[in-house]
């Protein structure tokens, strides 16, 4: 039998979930080692950019890190607008009510800055327990004992480590979640894909009429995204903007949409011309797969000593237009550690997972992630017939008339949290309804937009990579167009006819017949995981320190 | 509870390590200055730690991280070399020694070895391992290390690419390149005390999580220490070493430099071939040349 190094707790991933877990463990004097695959925490992390602190949540980021908002965030988001766009018209709803419902505070963040600040705190805390935080270590799977029970982790760079508890906070591309069979990457309908640019804009305050302690979030939906289900966002940072889109992955696949093109439709939309002009300068292009917790959150996110928190457990809530991920990761991370602390005191660490699951339920976290009401809506409304009837009704003269009559009350309906939690995943709320609202209630957009967004080649060339030469981290198992062709459009750094991306289509002659084949070059990969869902691949993260390094995130 | 294996690889006793370093002209482009005859202008060229000594320091640090112990960094040169020792301390050093006075000046490799050997014998406790860089960037003789080990009557291992110290058996196991060829590696086992010269191909290995944590802590500590490095610096002159001025420095150097030739300009590292590909065949040739450099797929 091997003698491996043993720590009381291993936390995999130093994002918000991992940081929260490590903080609670360290506060309870539990020897904790945190393993991060990036050169620095934050270098592999992307988020849309808003972190919430919910009043109903047992843990918020500033509970655990009191100076978090002072050093790690960009600015408080004090205004929240939804633009329902139809052609050149838009009807703007003020969603401050929804935004502020159950919200203690909400700040915009850039992940490199946020996570690297957290890391310094976590480093100090965990060092005192006899552990610490190690960068550049990729955990590639679970370590099992002679009975097949999970007892630790295996890594690319160092020998396996055993622990009394393993908290997997390794994000949406979690190798622990997949290798333990707790999550899979099979169904596109369980995922969103987010694509984002960080735009340099030193005069944010002037342009948006803000004070340093105020900020604004703009959301966009309607007919500007070619009918793909999803929407766009613009968040103000201290001296930059985060502009992005989030779409259902199955809708991207169905429409064969080029996601970076959809993002460009937002960036170049006349409505955005009031804020950005020809001096537009992108600092960073990034993308991320986003689990739809309504379908993907694992209700039993644990196995043996392994506990999943945050994206690794699918804990990413889309509450209508509001996306809440980091706050749930923080809560879950803290609850997982709390569960371990309690079970350790009782001398039954094997019950930690069950305890964690109970805590997720008792604190209401699981109900936010998987709202019971959604299952009803899904059963009745998420089918083609129902969607066609509802869409048909909304677009009919009767529906349009009704929306005109409801008028401003529409805004009030949008601000009801319970309704926003149970929005069906159909074209109705994302496309049809906002478009009709825009048409019927909107005013004509007067601003003009002169922005020319850069092409994919330029976006990729601005990113930093440390390529693991000769060791591609993704392998294409099936190169037929039928099974893997979807990646050419869905991959955010690939496009049909673009030779510099990850996925390309090639024409090959087989037995005198021309066939399409898919080829892969992982060099420009931004590690979002999209192709793992839409193509037949063997998908791994690059080993520690390798691959893309985000500077903003 | 499982057995905690996170003790040092061996902690029966601490190991005393010495690293030898030297200041050399900074030959990097943009730093180095030559006169019109191609001779080095020492006054206009900054002095830095000999680049190969970095590998000696990394090997020493690996030994300390994995086996515990203390690292003493030693150099001989003018008082300005203190900053070279500071540079070394930024990688790792517990304490620093500079052998320096006028009588030691203009020493050749022989006189240098005699001086260093005397200083090492004066150290208390006596070191178990001495690490030195593989030749200096200025003289490039590669003599000083081997001559010092001869003067100490210690065994020497050169071109070392990896080491493992077994303190229980007072042994060191090293992998070394044979004739500097990366493809032929031999494993040797030598008893301590021992003189070790890491090759520029040397790579420190930290296979355990605890190694990495300790490395992180030690690196943080040494960088803090390096800010006020003079607190840990000891200067020794020839009197303190009880050395006869006739046998050290210029007077003790049998080497006579007959002539100094200008340094020839380094040839370009890359070659370019211009290809006007008009046919598919010509393009295939290009692909044939490029193929070995491409990745697996």
The domain that holds A389 is classified in CATH as 3.30.9
User: Last residue of some domain: A409, A438, A462?
Assistant: A462
Inter-residue contact A193 to A252 (CB < 8 Å): yes
- Verify that A457 and A411 share a domain, yes or no: yes
Structural element, H or E, at residue B234: strand B233-236
CB within 8 Å: A5 and B216: no
Which residues from chain B sit within 8 angstroms of residue A4, using beta carbons?
5
Chain A environment of B217 (Cβ under 8 Å): 127, 132
How confident is the model at residue A155, as a pLDDT? 98
Contacts of A138 (CB under 8 A, 6+ apart): A37, A155, A156, A157, A175, A541, A542, A543, A544
Least CB-CB distance to A132: which of B207, B208, B213? B213
In the DSSP assignment, the letter for residue A462 is T
Tokens of A435: 């478009």
- Beta bridge partners, A319, equal A322
Mean pLDDT of chain A: 94
Question: What radius of gyration, in Å, describes the C-alpha atoms of chain A?
Answer: 23
A498 contact partners, CB below 8 Å, separation of at least 6: A456, A457, A504
Coil, strand or helix at A514 = strand
Say how far apart CA B222 and CA A345 lie, in whole Å: 38
- List residues of B whose CB lies inside 8 A of any A CB: 2-6, 206-213, 216-217, 295-297
Q: What is the pLDDT of residue B30?
A: 80
Handedness of CA B53, B54, B56, B61 (dihedral sign): positive
For the cut 50, the answer to whether the pLDDT of residue B11 exceeds it is no
A475 interfaces chain B, CB cutoff of 8 Å: yes
Q: Look at residue A35 in the predicted model and tell me its pLDDT.
A: 98
* Interchain contact A161–B (C-beta under 8 A): yes
One domain for residues A195 and A279? yes
Shared-domain flag, residues A394 and A445: yes
Inform me whether the C-beta atom of residue A520 falls under 8 Å from chain B C-beta atoms. yes
What average pLDDT does the segment B267-278 reach?
Answer: 72
A454: which residues sit within 8 A by CB, 6+ positions away? A282
- pLDDT level of residue B263 (50, 70, 90 thresholds): low
CB atoms B209 and A520 under 8 Å: no
Say yes or no: A158 contacts chain B, CB-CB below 8 A: yes
Q: Look up the CATH number of the domain holding residue A532.
A: 3.30.70
A470 and chain B: CB distance < 8 Å anywhere?
yes
pLDDT of residue A37 exceeding 50: yes
Closest CA to A487 of A526, A518, A455, A508: A518
A224 touches chain B (CB under 8 A): no
Query: Closest Cα to residue A115, out of A202, A27, A29, A34?
Result: A34
The band of B13, judged by pLDDT with boundaries at 50, 70 and 90, is low
A1 touches chain B (CB under 8 A): no
For residues A344-356, give the mean pLDDT: 97
B36 vs A102: which has the higher pLDDT: A102
pLDDT digits (tens, 9 = 90+) for A154-213: 999 999 999 999 999 999 999 999 999 999 999 999 999 999 999 999 999 999 999 999
Q: What is the pLDDT of residue A420?
A: 79
Q: Are A175 and A135 found together in one domain?
A: yes
Can you give the pLDDT at residue B255?
Answer: 84
Structural domain count, chain A: 3
Q: Show residues of chain A in contact with B210, CB under 8 Å.
A: 5
How many angstroms separate the CA atoms of B273 and A367, rounded? 66
Q: What is the pLDDT of residues B76-125, one digit of tens each?
A: 999 989 999 999 999 999 999 999 998 888 788 888 998 999 999 999 99
The verdict on A280 and A321 lying in the same domain is no
Residues B297, A471: C-beta atoms closer than 8 Å? no
Q: Which residues contact B136 (CB under 8 A, 6 or more apart)?
A: B22, B24, B50, B52, B144
Q: Which residues contact A291 (CB under 8 A, 6 or more apart)?
A: A172, A190, A191, A192, A297, A311, A314, A315, A316
When comparing pLDDT for A391 and A1, which is higher?
A391
Nearest 5°: the CA angle A527, A528, A534 is 115
pLDDT band at B9 (very low <50, low <70, confident <90, very high): very low
In this prediction, residues A367-373 reach a mean pLDDT of 91
Q: Cβ–Cβ of B210/A5 closer than 8 Å?
A: yes
The reply to whether A64 and A134 lie within a common domain is: yes
Residue in A1, A2, A6 to test binding to B, most B beta-carbons within 10 Å: A6
Name the residue facing A6 among B4, B207, B217 (closest C-beta).
B4
Q: What is the DSSP letter of A496?
A: T
* Alpha carbons A445 and A443: distance in angstroms, whole number: 6
Q: Residue A451, exposed/middle/buried by CB under 10 A (0-12, 13-18, 19+)?
A: middle
A203 and A252 co-located in one domain: yes
Helix (H) or strand (E) holding A7: strand A5-12
Co-location of A93 and A144 in the same domain: no
C-alpha A212: how far from chain center: 27
Q: Which residues of A touch B209 (CB under 8 A)?
A: 5, 7, 33, 35, 134, 137, 158-159, 161
Alpha helix ranges (H) inside chain B: 53-67, 82-91, 109-122, 144-152, 209-227, 280-290
Task: Give me the CATH number covering residue A322.
Answer: 3.50.50.60
What is the dihedral sign for C-alpha B264, B269, B275, B281?
Answer: positive
Would the CB atoms of A159 and B296 count as touching at under 8 Å? no
- At B1 the pLDDT is 39
Q: Tell me the pLDDT tens digit for each residue of A375-415.
A: 778 877 778 888 888 888 888 888 888 888 888 788 888 88
CA A396 to chain centre: 36
Chain B residues with beta carbon closer than 8 angstroms to that of A475: 297
B220 to chain A nearest CA, in Å? 12
Q: State whether residue A186 sits within 8 Å of chain B by CB.
A: no
Q: Which of A3, A7, A472 sits opposite B3 (nearest CB)?
A: A3
* CA gap B37, B157 in Å, rounded: 39
- ipTM given for this complex: 0.86
d(CA B238, CA B119): 10
Name which of A132, A146, A537 to mutate to probe chain B: the one with the most chain B Cβ atoms within 10 A of its Cβ.
A132
Residue A422: Cβ within 10 Å count: 18
Three-state DSSP class for residue A301: coil
Q: How far apart are the first and last CA of chain B?
A: 46
Q: How far is A59 from chain B (nearest CA, A)?
A: 29
Q: Do B209 and A471 touch (CB under 8 A)?
A: no
Q: Kindly state whether A521 is in contact with chain B, defined as any CB-CB distance less than 8 angstroms.
A: yes
Are A425 and A189 in contact by the 8 Å Cβ rule? The answer is yes
Most B CBs within 10 A among A1, A4, A5, A127, hence the mutation to make, goes to: A5
* Two tokens, residue A149: 């029970």
Instruction: Kindly indicate the confidence band of residue B2, based on its pLDDT and cuts at 50, 70 and 90.
Output: very low
- Tell me which residue of A481, A474, A450 sits closest to A524, measured CA to CA: A474
| A476 touches B at CB < 8 Å | yes
Better pLDDT: A46 or A403: A46
**pLDDT tens string A297-326:** 999 999 999 999 999 999 999 888 889 999
Given a contact cutoff of 8 angstroms between Cβ atoms, the answer to whether A191 and A533 are in contact is: yes
The total of other beta-carbon atoms located within 10 Å of residue A159's CB is 16
- Domains of chain B in sequence order: 16-252 (3.40.50.620)
Torsion sign, CA atoms A317, A319, A323, A326 = negative
Phi, psi (rounded to 5 degrees) for B167: -70, -30
- Choose from B7, B9, B66, B209 for mutation: most chain A CBs within 10 A: B209
Q: A161, B209: Cβ pair inside 8 Å?
A: yes
B3: which chain A residues are within 8 Å (Cβ-Cβ)? 3, 6
And the tokens for B41?
Answer: 């202008």
Section A439-461 average pLDDT: 95
Mean pLDDT estimate for chain B: 86
- What is the Cα Rg of chain B in Å? 23
Contacts of B206 in chain A (CB under 8 A): 158
DSSP letter for each residue of A361-424: HHTTHHHHHS-HHHHHHHHHHSSHHHHHHHHHHHHSHHHHHHHHHHTTHHHHHHT-HHHHTT--
Q: What is the pLDDT of residues A83-110, one digit of tens each?
A: 999 999 999 999 999 999 999 999 999 9
* Segment among A373-377, B170-174, B230-234 with least mean pLDDT: A373-377
Q: Which of A347, A369, A391 is the last residue of a domain?
A: A369
| Residues in B touching A162 (Cβ below 8 Å) | 2
Nearest CB partner across the interface for B295, out of A132, A137, A472 = A472
Q: Are residues A205 and A275 in the same domain?
A: yes
Q: Is residue A526 domain-shared with residue A431, that is, in the same domain?
A: no
**Pair (A190, A237) in one structural domain:** yes
**Are B208 and A159 an interchain contact pair (Cβ–Cβ within 8 Å)?**
yes
Residue of A nearest to B213 (CA): A132
Q: Band of the pLDDT at B3, cuts 50, 70, 90?
A: very low
Note whether A55 and A128 are same-domain residues.
Answer: yes
The domain in which residue A399 lies consists of 75-108+184-290+375-420+426-462
């Amino acid at each position: 039998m091997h003698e491996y190094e043993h720590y009381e707790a291993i936390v995999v991933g130093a994002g918000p979930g991992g940081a929260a877990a490590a903080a609670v463990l360290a506060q309870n004097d539990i020897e904790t080692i945190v393993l991060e695959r990036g050169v620095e925490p934050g270098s592999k992390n992307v988020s849309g950019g808003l972190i919430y602190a919910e009043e109903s949540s047992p843990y918020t980021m500033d509970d655990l890190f009191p100076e978090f908002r002072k050093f790690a965030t960009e600015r408080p988001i004090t205004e929240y607008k939804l633009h329902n766009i139809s052609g050149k018209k838009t009807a703007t709803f003020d969603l401050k009510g929804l935004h502020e419902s159950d919200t203690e505070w909400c700040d915009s963040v850039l992940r490199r800055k946020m996570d690297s600040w957290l890391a310094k705190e976590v480093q100090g805390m965990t060092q005192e327990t006899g552990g610490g935080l190690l960068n550049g270590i990729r955990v590639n799977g679970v370590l099992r004992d002679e009975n097949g029970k999970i007892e630790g982790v295996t890594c690319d760079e160092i020998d396996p480590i055993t622990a009394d508890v393993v908290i997997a906070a390794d994000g949406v591309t979690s190798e622990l979640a997949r290798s333990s069979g707790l999550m899979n990457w099979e169904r596109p309908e369980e995922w969103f894909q987010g694509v984002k640019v960080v735009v340099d804009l030193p005069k944010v305050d002037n342009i948006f009429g803000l004070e340093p302690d105020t900020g604004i979030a703009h959301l966009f939906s309607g007919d500007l995204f070619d009918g793909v289900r999803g929407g766009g966002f613009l968040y103000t940072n201290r001296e930059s903007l985060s502009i992005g889109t989030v779409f259902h992955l199955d809708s991207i696949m169905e429409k064969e949409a080029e996601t970076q093109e959809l993002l460009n439709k937002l960036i170049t939309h006349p409505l955005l011309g009031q804020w950005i002009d020809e001096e537009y300068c992108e600092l960073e292009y990034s993308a991320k797969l986003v689990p739809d917790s309504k379908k993907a959150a694992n209700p039993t996110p644990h196995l043996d000593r392994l506990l999943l928190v945050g994206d690794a457990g699918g804990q990413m809530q889309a509450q209508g237009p509001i996306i809440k991920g980091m706050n749930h990761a923080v809560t879950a991370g803290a609850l997982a550690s709390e569960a371990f602390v309690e079970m350790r005191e009782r001398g039954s660490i094997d019950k930690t997972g069950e305890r964690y699951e109970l805590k997720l339920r008792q604190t209401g976290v699981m109900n936010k992630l998987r709202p019971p009401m959604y299952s009803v809506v899904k059963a009745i409304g998420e089918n083609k017939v129902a969607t066609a009837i509802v869409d048909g009704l909304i677009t009919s003269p009767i529906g349009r008339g009704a929306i005109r009559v409801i008028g401003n009350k529409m805004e009030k309906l949008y601000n009801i949290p319970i309704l926003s939690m149970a929005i069906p995943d159909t074209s109705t709320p994302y496309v049809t309804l906002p478009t009709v609202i825009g048409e019927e209630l909107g005013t004509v957009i007067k601003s003009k937009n002169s922005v020319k967004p850069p092409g994919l080649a330029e976006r990729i060339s601005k990113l930093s990579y440390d390529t693991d030469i000769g060791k591609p981290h993704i392998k294409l198992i099936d190169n037929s167009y039928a099974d893997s062709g979807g990646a050419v459009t869905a991959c955010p750094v690939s496009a049909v006819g673009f030779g510099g991306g990850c996925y390309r289509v090639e024409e090959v002659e087989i037995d005198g017949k021309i066939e399409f084949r898919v080829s892969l070059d992982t060099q420009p990969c931004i590690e979002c995981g999209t192709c793992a869902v839409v193509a037949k691949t063997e998908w791994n993260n690059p080993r520690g320190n390798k691959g893309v390094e985000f500077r903003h995130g | 509870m499982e057995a905690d294996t996170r003790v040092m690889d061996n902690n029966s006793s601490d190991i005393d390590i010495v690293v030898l370093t030297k200041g050399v002209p900074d030959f990097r482009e943009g730093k180095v200055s030559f006169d019109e005859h191609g001779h080095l202008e020492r006054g206009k060229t900054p002095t830095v730690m000999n680049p190969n000594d970095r590998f000696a320091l990394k090997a020493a640090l690996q030994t300390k991280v994995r086996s515990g112990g203390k690292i003493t960094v030693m150099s001989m040169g003018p008082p300005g070399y203190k900053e070279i020792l500071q540079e070394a301390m930024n990688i790792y050093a517990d304490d620093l020694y500079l052998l320096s006075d006028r009588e030691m000046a203009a020493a050749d490799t022989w006189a240098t070895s005699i001086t260093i050997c005397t200083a090492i014998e004066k150290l208390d406790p006596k070191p178990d391992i001495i690490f030195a860089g593989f030749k200096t960037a200025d003289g490039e003789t590669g003599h000083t290390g081997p001559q010092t080990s001869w003067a100490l009557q210690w065994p020497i291992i050169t071109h070392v690419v990896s080491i493992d110290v077994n303190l229980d058996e007072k042994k060191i196991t090293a992998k070394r390149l044979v004739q500097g060829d990366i493809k032929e590696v031999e494993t040797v086992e030598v008893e301590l005390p021992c003189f070790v010269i890491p090759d520029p191909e040397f790579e420190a290995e930290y296979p355990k999580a605890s190694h990495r944590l300790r490395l992180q802590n030690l690196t943080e500590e040494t960088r803090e220490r390096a800010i006020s490095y003079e607190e840990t610096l000891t200067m020794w002159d020839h009197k303190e070493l009880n050395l006869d001025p006739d046998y050290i420095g210029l007077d003790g150097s049998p080497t006579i430099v007959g002539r100094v030739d200008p340094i020839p300009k380094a040839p370009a590292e890359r070659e370019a071939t211009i290809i006007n590909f008009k046919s598919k065949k010509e393009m295939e040739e290009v692909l044939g040349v490029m193929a070995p450099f491409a990745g697996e797929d």
